[in-house]
Structure 1
């Protein structure tokens, strides 16, 4: 069967050196609120329902920097492999367009990686404006009074009624802009719209956004950080505590934090008696203010007889996500004389991380004894304590 052509592909131009932005390496890879500038820009296109694929155009020296900056999107179904750019931005765009020829899209949107705050609404505006034109660019009308200077003095006041400030993305019919860029080889133009104009293409104006700033100079990073703080949603953080205990009974292994550990006994319980996971589940329910594990999974309900505790933990995490939040960290302490927990800690963290969809670096599993005091000291059972921190939208 023939491959269905992509409707719209976004090309993000990230091959520049950004020398005017000061020290710290190319600006597209520098951090903005802890996240690379490029990743901010890419996220808007990867999340947009009308964009079918995204390709980043990078400098030939930046393979490792690109991989690190885009690590959060690794495996994303819309993200195409990057391609190398050329000596100038215009060359980079042409090479990016040519890289799509084997599976050509209908539309190509070209965006500067140095504009990290492009919104979904601006992307939609450009795509909509393309319906009646060969191209469309995000832009803003000029409201400032514009002066033309000569020799350091005002020569005239320029009428502003028909002036617009160009932004990106700039979108075009793919074949038309590819041909225009090939014809423009060897000539210098300030943006892709100028390349299109030179080829006789009709380019429409689509409403951009004042937030869609371009990071050019070092001081722009400070302005961008301020903008991010203003745009960031308010959050609150909550911490919950959980505790569970299970006695031993005859068996050959115990299940703790999702890992089966060979032992001379097993833990007694209605489900699989995973004390660590039960404590953690209760901690999440507690942080959410959603009762405890028994409220959601009654021990008198036969359907939970022998059930895997991953069901309970996964449900607790789902409730956090449904509330618009996320689990950010958890800490589990297992109290027992035996079995030895240390050799299994990494496996436990990995198992919990898979269930919770949380990186193992945000999960702690520890173990201690009671110096042979109490029921755990007498090897009658195992106790578990857990804390969980969740982030929720502020009310």
Structure 2
């Protein structure tokens, strides 16, 4: 069965109380929408992922997604879901998963449960948890009665559907005010099945929800430390790139890419923490695609590998070793650039420099060396 996923991220998030729409608020240094999207992009059963929302905001938040993966959203959640379904209609999948970007911690087992039910023949599938708290009905802050909780469920996303029936249902329900895709399916007379959801699959609606998500994220992660070292000799007629910043100097560095020694050491540290080899393993110099490449691409890939494994980078420390140029005037810009590429706060990034007291090749001004250390949290 060919399954696609829609990540709905067009909401304004007014209840969150932030000037920034909540889907772009960072969780562990990574925007909520990015975490949600990566969970589906890395899932082996999902063949295609579309992000639905304001494309101009989604593209920088999810730089590892192709432009074809963004769809403009609508005025309501229902409009956005329909827009995503229409975008899939040209090459329709067998089934579609519709997920809220505000649920960034979707476990793979919930995606599997929804997919399993669809493959087994279900037309519509909702992950849900039974209501266990006592429910009260109130009027003006005064309890007016107790609501029986038997048979009540808390519904989550992703909600899964056979593609053709849910597209037809959404077209028929256009202009109505239905709160989720399950309600659209019900209105069309589809038989809706429930499968187990997960407590960690919480929806971030308020700052308190974000705090709960942060606590949940850290509770299941273990620290890893990686180190990296890189060296490049000076070369004429090249720009000097250090930690993602062009530094004024009469010489650049020799290398197959742009030879950014700081980023290269940092990438090796990240890959080391992941036990995934080094930058040469990931981007072989024998591949002509990387000739003169911007090393920012390498660092984005390394950080993306951490995120795809459900982890996060919590700290990075880079030391540049050279006599010239002077690094101190550029460290703030370097920290900001590296932080942006890794999707973490600049306060968690250190860049500093030292000399070798004119000893060795760096002391003789023949090149620049760098060493880096990172702390990564992984499941």
TM-score, scaled relative to structure 1: 0.63
Q: Secondary structure at the match of 2:225?
A: strand
User: In the alignment, is residue 81 of structure 1 matched against residue 56 of structure 2?
Assistant: no
* CA distance 1:331–1:188, shift in 2 (3 Å): same
**Do 2:127 and 2:158's aligned partners in 1 also have CA atoms closer than 8 Å?**
yes
Conserved in 2, the CA contact under 8 Å of 1:53 and 1:80? no
Distance across 2 between alignment mates of 1:142 and 1:9:
30
Aligned pair partner of 1:155 in 135, 142, 145:
145
Output aligned runs, 1:1-395, within 5 Å. Answer: 7-58=2-53, 62-71=54-63, 73-75=64-66, 80-130=68-118, 131-149=120-138, 152-160=142-150, 162-231=151-220, 233-237=221-225, 257=232, 328-334=316-322, 386-391=370-375
Please say if residues 36 and 69 of structure 1, whose CA atoms lie closer than 8 Å, have aligned partners that are also in contact.
Answer: yes
Partner secondary structure for residue 52 of structure 1 = strand
Label 1:81 to 1:376 Cα distance change in 2 as closer, same or farther (>3 A).
closer
Q: Which runs of 5+ in 2 are unaligned?
A: 238-260, 274-301, 306-310, 327-340
Contact 1:94 1:181 in 2 (8 A): yes
CA displacement, residues 231-251 of structure 1 (integer Å, 9 cap, x when unaligned): 3x1214366889xxxxxxxxx
How far 1:91 sits from its partner (Å)?
Answer: 1.2
- Give the Cα–Cα distance (whole angstroms) in 2 for the partners of residues 203 and 375 of structure 1: 71
Please say which of residues 174-183 and 141-150 is displaced more in the overlay.
141-150
CA distance in 1, matches of 2:367, 2:90: 60
Deviation at 1:187, TM superposition (A): 2.1
Structure 2 length as normaliser, TM-score?
0.66
1:157/1:332 Cα in 2 relative to 1: closer, same or farther (>3 Å)? closer
Question: C-alpha distance in 1, partners of 2:96/2:227?
Answer: 46
Question: 1:261/1:165 Cα in 2 relative to 1: closer, same or farther (>3 Å)?
Answer: same
Is contact 1:238–1:391 with CA below 8 Å preserved after alignment? yes
Cα–Cα, structure 1 residues 139 and 330, in superposed 2: closer, same or farther, change >3 Å?
same
Structure 1 distance, partners of 2:363, 2:153, is 79
Going from structure 1 to structure 2, the CA distance change for 1:177 and 1:341 (only over 3 Å counts) comes to: same
Shift of 1:10: 0.5
Query: Structure 1 stretch 361-370 or stretch 136-145: which is displaced more?
Result: 361-370
Map of 2:333 onto structure 1: none
Matches of 1:158 and 1:63 in 2, distance apart? Answer: 43
* Cα contact 2:321–2:355 (8 A) shared by 1: yes
Instruction: Report the 3-state secondary structure (helix = DSSP H, G, I; strand = E; otherwise coil) of the residue aligned with 2:319.
Output: strand
- Matched residue SS, 2:116: helix
Could you report, residue by residue, the CA deviation over 1:186-215 in whole angstroms, capped at 9, with x for unpaired residues? Answer: 222121111101111111101110111111
**Counterpart contact for 1:16–1:26, Cα < 8 Å:** yes
Asked whether the equivalents of residues 2 and 93 of structure 2 are also in contact (C-alpha less than 8 Å), the reply is: yes
Greater Cα shift, 22-31 or 213-222: 213-222
* Structure 1 unaligned regions, length at least 5: 1-5, 243-255, 263-275, 289-317, 343-356
What is the SS of the residue equivalent to 1:99?
A: helix
After superposition, what is the alpha-carbon deviation per residue over 1:262-285, rounded to whole angstroms, capped at 9, x for unaligned? 9xxxxxxxxxxxxx99xx79x97x
Q: Distance in 2 between matches of 1:11 and 1:236?
A: 33
Aligned-CA RMSD value: 4.4
Change over 3 Å in CA distance of 1:104–1:385 after alignment to 2: closer
8 Å contact 2:225–2:373 — kept in the other structure? yes
1:148–1:158 contact (8 Å) kept in structure 2: no
After superposition, what is the alpha-carbon deviation per residue over 1:13-35, rounded to whole angstroms, capped at 9, x for unaligned? 11111111102221111222221
Q: Which moved more, 1:385-394 or 1:142-151?
A: 385-394
Shift of 1:127: 0.8
Distance 1:128 1:83 in 2: 27
Distance 1:392 1:148, change over 3 A: closer
The answer as to whether partners of 2:125 and 2:192 remain within 8 angstroms in 1 is yes
Q: Which residue of 2 aligns with 1:307?
A: none
